[in-house]
Amino acid sequence: MKLNIAVLPGDGIGPEIVEEALKVTRAVCQKYGHELHEETALVGACAIDAVGDPYPQGTHDLCMRSDAVLFGAIGSPKYDNDPTAKVRPEQGLLAMRKKLGLYANVRPVTVFPSLVDRSPLKADLVRDADFVCIRELTGGLYFGKPQGRSEDGNSAVDTCVYSREEIERILKLAYDFAGRRRKKLTVVDKANVLETSRLWRQIAQEMAPNYPDVETDFLFVDNAAMRLIQWPASFDVMVTENMFGDILTDEASVITGSLGLLPSASVGLHTSVFEPIHGSYPQAAGKNIANPLATVLSAAMMFEYAFGLAKEGALIREAVSASLDAGFVTEDIAVDGLKPRSTSEVGDWLVQYIQG
């Protein structure tokens, strides 16, 4: 099979972790006889610095003509520390999601047995945690209009808007996932306060009878946040709106013991994007210490979701699990007494495992 991949390393540690994911991807393609074509483009702060646009038209054109996008991270202190900046790296990510029609972010949360003790939660709470968070990506507060500051700078407004179409399509995706897993869907909202959440709950209640084999329950977002910590293994598939999903999935990430372990897929109308859920970690940029495993696991999702290549994705997961069992990991998850490995060393180890 021919695999055409757009590569968007982005900012901070993005180039380093994406390079390791590409090394693994190349090794898998070589092993299974696939033809890989890669093309790289700018996004984020580096794109602003180069051309003044965090998501240039050329980058979008590349994404549209590719089969999948492997994406690193965006963000820079240069813009984070300047509240007056008119153009920000994050605008590039939002523009990419909107223009590609990426209405759903799929984030699996799985605890690797060898890392149970690395979680800040008790081992008996996280040991069996295995669930999927599905976050709506193109609606809600992040995109609603009006949005902005007053002319005097002393007040600001954000608007939360959702349509029936937006809610139905993300719920359908969530029900499909639940139907293929343990057949339980948790809809997270704030229906006791927000009108948009009441619409979410109403539509979910209307759709639930169409999926009789799936148990549907509802949680207010504050209760869901507590349940993630108290009983993470109780979840199967969780679906929620944009901002709630942003917050809850970052909370869920610590269950595994490190932000550097969670991959994601953003899917929708056009080319899907595969990326780690963590940020650009600028403090570690260029030091060869960042954990590449979330990006590597995102590449596994890319093989499975974008190309339907289950064996290839499974081999990558097997390699990652083997590296964790062997303790061949970066400093963020290295246990006492084990030598932390560099970003590139971990990538090389994974390649050697895949090559057999």
Read off the CATH number of the domain in which 342 is found: 3.40.718.10
> Are residues 198 and 140 part of one domain?
yes
Out of 78, 250, 305, 348, the active site residue is 250
Quick check: is 213 catalytic?
no
Dihedral angle of Cα 348, 257, 277, 7, to the nearest 10 degrees: 0
Asked if residue 45 has pLDDT above 80, the reply is yes
User: Per the structure block, which two tokens stand in for 20?
Assistant: 């390791």
> Are residues 251 and 266 part of one domain?
no
> Are residues 293 and 247 part of one domain?
no
pLDDT value for 83: 78
Query: pLDDT grade, residue 321 (50/70/90)?
Result: very high
Q: Which of the residue ranges 112-126, 270-284, 294-308 would you say has the lowest mean pLDDT?
A: 112-126
- Cα 121 to Cα 232: distance, rounded to the nearest angstrom: 10
Residue pLDDT, tens place only, 153-178: 899 999 999 999 999 999 999 999 99
- Cα 53 to Cα 45: distance, rounded to the nearest angstrom: 9
Q: Which of the residue ranges 22-26, 39-43, 63-67, 146-150 would you say has the lowest mean pLDDT?
A: 146-150
Q: What is the mean pLDDT of residues 2-22?
A: 98
Is 298 within a domain? Answer: yes
Asked if residue 276 has pLDDT above 80, the reply is yes
Quick check: is 128 catalytic?
no
> Are residues 337 and 212 part of one domain?
no
Asked if residue 114 has pLDDT above 90, the reply is no
Alpha-helical (H) ranges within 154-292 are 164-180, 195-207, 221-230, 242-253
> Are residues 170 and 83 part of one domain?
no
Residues 6 or more apart whose Cβ sits within 8 Å of residue 288: 16, 342, 343, 344
- Cα 334 to Cα 139: distance, rounded to the nearest angstrom: 39
Residue pLDDT, tens place only, 183-223: 999 999 999 999 999 999 999 999 999 999 999 999 999 99
The domain tally of the chain equals 2
Quick check: is 325 catalytic?
no
User: Per the structure block, which two tokens stand in for 200?
Assistant: 């979410």
Out of 11, 55, 190, 332, the active site residue is 190
Is 45 within a domain? Answer: yes
Domain end, chosen from 256, 277, 297, is at 256
Out of 49, 158, 246, 348, the active site residue is 246
Asked if residue 258 has pLDDT above 80, the reply is no
Quick check: is 250 catalytic?
yes
% helix, strand, coil for the chain, step of 5: 50, 20, 35
Is 107 within a domain? Answer: no
Q: Are 70 and 37 in contact (CB under 8 A)?
A: no
Quick check: is 82 catalytic?
no
Mean predicted lDDT score pLDDT of the chain: 94
> Are residues 266 and 145 part of one domain?
no
Is 111 within a domain? Answer: no
Q: Which domain holds residue 210?
A: 120-256
Domain end, chosen from 256, 281, 312, is at 256
> Are residues 339 and 238 part of one domain?
no
Is 350 within a domain? Answer: yes
> Are residues 231 and 157 part of one domain?
yes
Cβ of 335: how many Cβ atoms within 10 Å?
12
pLDDT value for 22: 98
> Are residues 10 and 52 part of one domain?
yes
Out of 82, 117, 222, 325, the active site residue is 222
Q: What are phi and psi of 157, to 5 degrees?
A: -140, 140
Asked if residue 81 has pLDDT above 90, the reply is no
> Are residues 302 and 186 part of one domain?
no
Q: What is the mean pLDDT of residues 15-37?
A: 98
- Number of helices (H), then strands (E), belonging to the chain: the values are 13, 12
Q: What are phi and psi of 92, to 5 degrees?
A: -65, -40
Query: pLDDT grade, residue 15 (50/70/90)?
Result: very high
Q: Are 170 and 106 in contact (CB under 8 A)?
A: no
Query: pLDDT grade, residue 254 (50/70/90)?
Result: confident
Cβ of 340: how many Cβ atoms within 10 Å?
16
Query: pLDDT grade, residue 6 (50/70/90)?
Result: very high
Out of 55, 142, 175, 353, the active site residue is 142
Domain end, chosen from 256, 272, 297, is at 256
Axis crossing angle, helix 310-325 with helix 343-355, rounded to the nearest 10: 120
pLDDT value for 216: 98
Is 349 within a domain? Answer: yes
User: Per the structure block, which two tokens stand in for 192?
Assistant: 């006791």
User: Per the structure block, which two tokens stand in for 186?
Assistant: 């948790």
Is 108 within a domain? Answer: no
Report pTM. Answer: 0.88
Q: Which of the residue ranges 168-172, 190-194, 254-258, 310-314 would you say has the lowest mean pLDDT?
A: 254-258
pLDDT value for 1: 93
Does 207 or 279 have the greater pLDDT score?
207
Q: Which of the residue ranges 112-116, 132-136, 268-272, 334-338 would you say has the lowest mean pLDDT?
A: 334-338
> Are residues 217 and 134 part of one domain?
yes
Query: pLDDT grade, residue 341 (50/70/90)?
Result: very high
Q: Are 331 and 289 in contact (CB under 8 A)?
A: yes
> Are residues 140 and 246 part of one domain?
yes
Tell me the CA distances in angstroms from 263 to 67, 124, 259, 288, one per residue in order: 18, 24, 9, 20
Provide the CA 263 distance to its chain's centre, in angstroms: 5
